[in-house]
Amino acid sequence: MDKPNLPSSLLSSSMLTADPRIARAKELLADALKEHSLKIDAIRPPNPDLVPEYQDSLSRLAVARGGAPYFPYMTSGIGNGPFVELGDGSVKLDFIVGIGVHGLGHSHPAMLDATIDAGLEDTVMQGNLQHNSGSLAMCERLLELANRQGAKLDHCLLSTSGAMANENSLKIAFHNRFPASRVICMDNCFAGRSLALAQLTDRPAYRAGLPKTLDVDFIPMFHPSDPEGTTTGAIETLKKLLARHPGEYACLWLELVAGEGGYYPGTKPYFEQLCKICHEHKVLIIFDEVQTFSRLSQAFAFQHFGLDAYADLVTLGKITQVCATLYGESLKPKGPVLSQTFTGATASIRCGLAVLDELESKQCFGADGWNMRRHRYFRSKLEALAQKHPGKICGPHGEGMMIAFTPGNGGADEAKDMLMRLYQLGLMGFLAGGNPTRIRFLPPPGVTTERHIDLACEIIEKALV
Ligand SMILES: Cc1ncc(COP(=O)(O)O)c(C=O)c1O
């Protein structure tokens, strides 16, 4: 991997890095990991001898965290690509990877290498009063990637969650457009779990019992069943809102492929017209790429859709292991409204850089890169299943390495039952959307192959009958 700007060879840290004992130790660790991880290459049922202790751990976890986890899932700490071993000895095909986080799957050697480097650094965390060279490398790398097709993003603020990256983007937008205090979002939007972001998220249950913190208005989403109607509807609603609340909107918030909302991609004409109208009214555009980043034909979904000219603020996270807010010089806050003790763990930052290296060197990006090729392959297999089992499965939906299908009639209970059947059979996905409720997959882009997709589709077919 690209070492994050290694300091001069006069420094003690360089001497430590170059110490042959480190290389030897790394080699030993990599060999041991490889040997044990390679054994995890197929789905396995639980080992009955391990089940009682595993169940006990899960019960204790439920008590400690105040609720059972969604799946009875706790890893043993090792895996191989998209396969992961659980504490009961079972092996699952993990096509959800912590909701899009483990882009190189489980136990990848590049992550081990980056983590050892991080362990040799002086501190566990980076922050606004504690930067190591990795922070600089990550900021510069993300800005270089973001500006490749003409966007003009000058600054990068790291943070430890997608929600914090989004909070920072909202603060920058409001600060710049003061006293404008309203936000426009698309129907079905999901932005994160803070008090402010709960207002942007189009799920009333997620703000139950919480105070109202922001004024947010919603516009219709693009829908492929009626491209013209939904585009015209969104434009008309946007114009009405702008006329009803003149000068009150600070930003338009866009997820270019609605993630939690159900894997609905928009189109360039749809987004472009909305963005253009907003810019004419001095409303900033925020692209929330926390889920889309690294999953489409380009690193950023705004590049995939050719919306570079409208990227005022961009947020990202998940697969990068550390999250970030990117923005242009003209939006730089004039007061001290942004700061954090922690911007990321040293290991997260180094691992994030390693993920970016791998995704680029494995040619995940490009119109015919692996993200799009695997999408086409997965799509064709899911389409074949939909034809073979009419009424039981429809779709697929999504874009790139974000793919979903709708089980049965789209009811939430049916989708949940199907999700749990898949889990029992060894395939991990998750729910998306409300009506219809879909089952989505976020396969790890750096390691998923056609063999894994074939296996996933065999399991889906088994779960249908
Ligand atoms: C589009 C989008 N924005 C923001 C978030 C929030 O990120 P985090 O859970 O890291 O706070 C998510 C998480 O799923 C997301 O999908």
- Domain limits of the chain? 125-361, 370-464
Mean pLDDT of the chain: 96
Quote the DSSP letter at residue 44: B
**Ligand 1 atom nearest 99 alpha carbon:** 14
82 cis-preceded (ω within 30 degrees of 0): no
Residue 317 Cα distances to 102, 136, 215, 235, 268, angstroms: 11, 17, 25, 29, 23
Q: How confident is the model at residue 137 (pLDDT cuts 50, 70, 90)?
A: very high
Q: How confident is the model at residue 9 (pLDDT cuts 50, 70, 90)?
A: confident
Q: Is the CB of 253 under 6 A from ligand 1?
A: no
DSSP secondary structure string for all residues of 224-272: TTSHHHHHHHHHHHHHHHHHHSTT-EEEEEE-SEETTTT-EE--HHHHH
Which residue from 190, 264, 348 has its CB within 8 A of the most atoms of ligand 1, so it is best to mutate? 190
Q: How confident is the model at residue 244 (pLDDT cuts 50, 70, 90)?
A: very high
Distance between CA atoms of residues 121 and 392, nearest Å: 53
Question: Residue 401 Cα, ligand 1 centroid: separation in angstroms?
Answer: 16
Q: What average pLDDT does the segment 28-41 reach?
A: 98
104-134: per-residue pLDDT in tens?
999 999 999 999 999 999 999 999 999 999 9
What was the pLDDT predicted at 6? 52
Q: What average pLDDT does the segment 403-409 reach?
A: 96
**431 CB-side CA count, 13 A:** 19
What was the pLDDT predicted at 5? 55
Residue 38, pLDDT > 60, answer: yes
What was the pLDDT predicted at 2? 47
Give the residue whose CA is nearest to atom 10 of ligand 1. Answer: 162
Question: Residue 93 Cα, ligand 1 centroid: separation in angstroms?
Answer: 23
Q: Is the CB of 400 under 6 A from ligand 1?
A: no
Closest CA to 440 of 450, 427, 451: 427
Task: Classify domain 125-361 by CATH number.
Answer: 3.40.640.10
190-204: per-residue pLDDT in tens?
999 999 999 999 999
**Cβ(174)–Cβ(166) below 8 Å:** no
Q: What average pLDDT does the segment 252-257 reach?
A: 98
**Cβ(325)–Cβ(159) below 8 Å:** yes
Question: Residue 291 Cα, ligand 1 centroid: separation in angstroms?
Answer: 6
The rounded percent of the chain whose pLDDT value lies above 90 is 97
Q: What average pLDDT does the segment 259-263 reach?
A: 95
Q: Is the CB of 273 under 6 A from ligand 1?
A: no
Q: Is the CB of 291 under 6 A from ligand 1?
A: yes
> Is the whole model's pTM more than 0.85, yes or no?
yes
**Ligand 1 atom nearest 197 alpha carbon:** 4
Distance between CA atoms of residues 125 and 160, nearest Å: 10
What was the pLDDT predicted at 4? 55
Residue 377, pLDDT > 80, answer: yes
140: how many CB neighbours lie within 10 A of its CB? 13
Residue 1, pLDDT > 70, answer: no
Q: How confident is the model at residue 271 (pLDDT cuts 50, 70, 90)?
A: very high
Distance between CA atoms of residues 158 and 140, nearest Å: 11
Q: How confident is the model at residue 75 (pLDDT cuts 50, 70, 90)?
A: very high
Residue 307, pLDDT > 60, answer: yes
Residue 252, pLDDT > 70, answer: yes
Q: What average pLDDT does the segment 447-452 reach?
A: 98
Q: What average pLDDT does the segment 328-346 reach?
A: 97
Residue 373 Cα distances to 37, 96, 369, 428, angstroms: 27, 19, 6, 21
370-464 CATH, one of 3.90.1150.10, 3.30.310.50, 3.50.50.60, 1.10.390.10 = 3.90.1150.10
Question: Residue 53 Cα, ligand 1 centroid: separation in angstroms?
Answer: 33
Distance between CA atoms of residues 256 and 264, nearest Å: 8
Q: Is the CB of 192 under 6 A from ligand 1?
A: yes
Question: Residue 101 Cα, ligand 1 centroid: separation in angstroms?
Answer: 11
Q: Is the CB of 261 under 6 A from ligand 1?
A: no
Q: How confident is the model at residue 83 (pLDDT cuts 50, 70, 90)?
A: very high
Q: Is the CB of 160 under 6 A from ligand 1?
A: no
Closest CA to 312 of 323, 327, 299: 327
What was the pLDDT predicted at 419? 98
Q: How confident is the model at residue 465 (pLDDT cuts 50, 70, 90)?
A: confident
